[in-house]
Structure 1
Amino acid sequence: MRSSYLFTSESVSEGHPDKVADQISDAIVDLFLSKDPEARIACETLTTTQLVVLAGEIRGKGIMDTEGNWAPGVREEVEKTVRDTVKRIGYEQEGFHWETLRFENNLHPQSAHIAQGVDASGNKDEGAGDQGIMFGYAADDTPDLMPATLYYSHKILEQMAADRHSGTAPFLEPDAKSQVTLRYEGSKPVAATAIVVSTQHGKGYDEGDKEAELHAYVKKVVADILPAELLSDETVYHINPTGSFEIGGPDGDAGLTGRKIIVDTYGGASPHGGGAFSGKDPTKVDRSAAYITRYLAKNIVAAGLAQRVTIQLAYAIGVSKPLSLYVDTHGTGTVGDDRIEAAIQGIEKLGGLTPRGIRTHLQLNKPIYQKTAAYGHFGRKAEGDFFPWEKTDLVDDLKAALA
């Protein structure tokens, strides 16, 4: 590990066009899972000026039959869910308005060939919804065991969104991006060298006293979020560095589901398998296996077995058991990485890390996903049934297995 280095992560707000798409896709996942917990969903969203388009394939009782016929009232529920999501985010602009935007619904039945590979039948257990590799990560940078650069990038935008919704910062509009650069000494962040915040704003907040008000507000948010010892007179701020940011959201740039996978995960501190999360039901291991690897990584660090850890799982479509499990504690482990791998594989409650075992242990067949689709899927508080992969209830099992 290098003794001194800079590292940077970025985040985007709930109003970023790609995140609008993610939230719509996950709102549809929640809608369908509320009707059928075993529903199969792959919902992609496109957003652009005054337009939202859904595409993908679905299957579920009370939703759509194999011929593509919608159950009574469900098509209308889908459109209402889309408009309600855009309204909740706060888009009531001429170029993108929840009430007047055009909407296209191109969802269709799931491929029968995919279904036969994934569904359980006879002696065959439920198979993975796709092939792929998934990574999980945890580090002791922050109380939630996330990379500090990403953690603070998310928190800055979360606070700005809260202030926008409450009316505390009425000059803010929904679209925004942040970026935090920290200097690390060893494995610990010691200084914030650069903060970047670009936020869509009301008319006139790009010059004079109004611009100064916006800049002062952003610096106050940063000061409230980052620990004081990380900030100094040497911290460089870039606030709306292009000068003006009045046109934003889907009107300023098209948005697509799944384009912010590094924002969704670990801000570049860990590898990413390539698969996106939003719009997918939990039989898709792109989503569920990424959640279980985060859960395992967080519990390993919480158990004091490592300061940071990366975990990889791999699957083949239609096959239930993972092809491989890999643990790397980056030289910070208190026991051998191979012993941790063996311990994980021996914990019965994990169900062999099969798709069904993961869904059962983390209780993923619930409509819990829309809240994941902005400000990161990881490092969030486990509230009720939300974010169960953030719980540290595997610590005692890991310790016992390694005793």
Structure 2
Amino acid sequence: MRSNYLFTSESVSEGHPDKVADQISDAVVDLFIGRDPVARVACETMVTTQRIVLAGEVRCDQDRFPSLAEIEQAARDTVKRIGYEQHGFHWQTAEFACHLHGQSAHIAQGVDESGNKDEGAGDQGIMFGFACDETPDLMPATLYYSHRILEKMAADRHGGVVDFLEPDAKSQVTLKYEDGKPVGASALVVSTQHSKALSTDAGQRTLRDYVMTVFEDVLPKGWMPADQSQIYVNPTGLFEIGGPDGDAGLTGRKIIVDTYGGAAPHGGGAFSGKDPTKVDRSAAYVSRYLAKNIVAAGLARRCTIQLSYAIGIAEPLSLYVDTHGTGTVDAAKIEAVLPQLVKLTPKGIRTHLGLNRPIYLQTAAYGHFGRKPEGEFFTWERTDLVDQLKQALA
């Protein structure tokens, strides 16, 4: 591992068009699972100028199957909560189309339990989890601060602290690392949609001044770039037209923002819109859970975990642990212990983490990882395996 370097991660706000799509897809997942905990959902969303389109496959108890009107209302409520009431994209007047249909029987036969057959994975694939000791939440610092910048701006917008922000925004943080630890920012970027009132030179200065206060508030003291020319606020100029009116959005296009900001591998499968039988989602969650507990237990300062599955097969095909030269215990020993602590079948993961609940809309903006576990939400962020890991690997 290099000791001295620059590294960058980006984030996007809840109003970014791809994130609008992710949140609608997860609102649909929550709607179905809230009615039937074993519902199957694979919902894709496309948003563009005054249009919301759903497509995908679902299965649900017929007596509890949501109506088309309820599905549409879930989508519109999500857009309203984000804050879109613009001429080019409005929660109330956007056209809505739903093309959800029944799940393939050929997929269902592999996933469902039957006789002596355990529930199988909903698809083949590889999933990764990661943790490091750069922040209290054991996340890469570049992504952590990218998320926090946009969360602060969204809170100010929703709370009326400022009246010139619109929902669409992006951030990017470049940090300088010395001896493998982040010591300060070398470059910061925010591009944010704004009201027409700021489309003047004075307005743009007001926007920059505001964003600078956000940087100062979010970053640790002394971390601001020494070179002010490396702070970019709306570097292309005006940003009035944004959100789905400015650029179409699709479910699953921000998978690096959703995970580790490029600091760790990604298996390629998106999370949002999928029920937890899809290991793209549930196995990525349990991989993060295991990696975080390993770092929290002091067994490594950095940890990457890979799981792999075959469609219809319950047990993972492989489990790989890499502590990047920072481990205090041989990685092979950790690999041997983990399946003893958590059953890594799709059903075992869902049971251990309590995933068959309507908990997914909250995950769809500002990252699926590095969040605070609260009750039934973000259970994969708990560090409740620490003592068991220490005992098993003593």
Amino acid at match of 1:245: F
Asked if structure 2 preserves the Cα contact closer than 8 Å seen for 1:32 and 1:63, the reply is no
Asked if structure 2 preserves the Cα contact closer than 8 Å seen for 1:128 and 1:284, the reply is yes
State the Cα RMSD in Å: 1.0
Q: Deviations over 1:198-220 (max 9, x none)?
A: 00000142432221111011010
Q: Distance in 2 between matches of 1:187 and 1:143?
A: 16
Q: Deviations over 1:209-265 (max 9, x none)?
A: 221111011010011001013224325211000001000000000000000000000
DSSP-derived class of the 1:85 partner: helix
Asked if structure 1 preserves the Cα contact closer than 8 Å seen for 2:186 and 2:226, the reply is no
Show the counterpart of 1:53. Answer: 53
Q: Deviations over 1:140-168 (max 9, x none)?
A: 00000000000000000001001001111
DSSP-derived class of the 1:190 partner: strand
DSSP-derived class of the 2:196 partner: coil
2:236 maps to 1:242: yes
Amino acid at match of 1:298: K
Show the counterpart of 1:36. Answer: 36
Amino acid at match of 1:173: E
Consecutive unaligned residues in structure 1, runs of 5 or more: 65-70
Asked if structure 1 preserves the Cα contact closer than 8 Å seen for 2:359 and 2:376, the reply is yes
Q: Distance in 2 between matches of 1:208 and 1:76?
A: 45
Asked if structure 1 preserves the Cα contact closer than 8 Å seen for 2:8 and 2:142, the reply is yes
Q: How does the TM-score come out when normalised to structure 1?
A: 0.96
Q: Distance in 2 between matches of 1:19 and 1:380?
A: 17
Segments of 4+ in structure 1 off by > 3 A?
none
Asked if structure 1 preserves the Cα contact closer than 8 Å seen for 2:82 and 2:167, the reply is yes
Q: Distance in 1 between matches of 2:39 and 2:134?
A: 38
Show the counterpart of 1:272. Answer: 266
| Identical counterparts, % of pairs | 72
Show the counterpart of 1:176. Answer: 169
Asked if structure 2 preserves the Cα contact closer than 8 Å seen for 1:206 and 1:243, the reply is no
Q: Deviations over 1:255-313 (max 9, x none)?
A: 00000000000000000000000000000000000000000000000000000100000
User: Counterparts in 2 of 1:108-147, with a 5 A limit?
Assistant: 108-147=101-140
Q: Distance in 2 between matches of 1:123 and 1:107?
A: 32
Q: Which of the residues 279, 282, 289 maps onto 1:295?
A: 289
- Post-superposition shift, 1:399? 0.8
Q: How does the TM-score come out when normalised to structure 2?
A: 0.98
Alignment: residue pair count: 393
Show the counterpart of 2:329. Answer: 335
Show the counterpart of 1:68. Answer: none
Asked if structure 2 preserves the Cα contact closer than 8 Å seen for 1:346 and 1:401, the reply is no
Q: Which of the residues 382, 387, 390 maps onto 2:378?
A: 387
Amino acid at match of 1:23: Q
Amino acid at match of 1:215: R
2:359 maps to 1:375: no
Show the counterpart of 1:220. Answer: 213
Consecutive unaligned residues in structure 2, runs of 5 or more: none
Asked if structure 1 preserves the Cα contact closer than 8 Å seen for 2:131 and 2:288, the reply is yes
Q: Deviations over 1:92-126 (max 9, x none)?
A: 00000000000000000000000001000000000
DSSP-derived class of the 1:228 partner: coil
Which range is displaced more, 305-314 or 201-210?
A: 201-210
Q: Which of the residues 318, 342, 355 maps onto 2:346?
A: 355
Amino acid at match of 2:198: Y
Asked if structure 1 preserves the Cα contact closer than 8 Å seen for 2:164 and 2:197, the reply is no
- Post-superposition shift, 1:169? 1.3
2:205 maps to 1:193: no
- Post-superposition shift, 1:346? 2.2
Asked if structure 1 preserves the Cα contact closer than 8 Å seen for 2:225 and 2:231, the reply is no
Q: Which of the residues 358, 361, 366 maps onto 2:357?
A: 366
2:6 maps to 1:15: no
Amino acid at match of 1:29: V
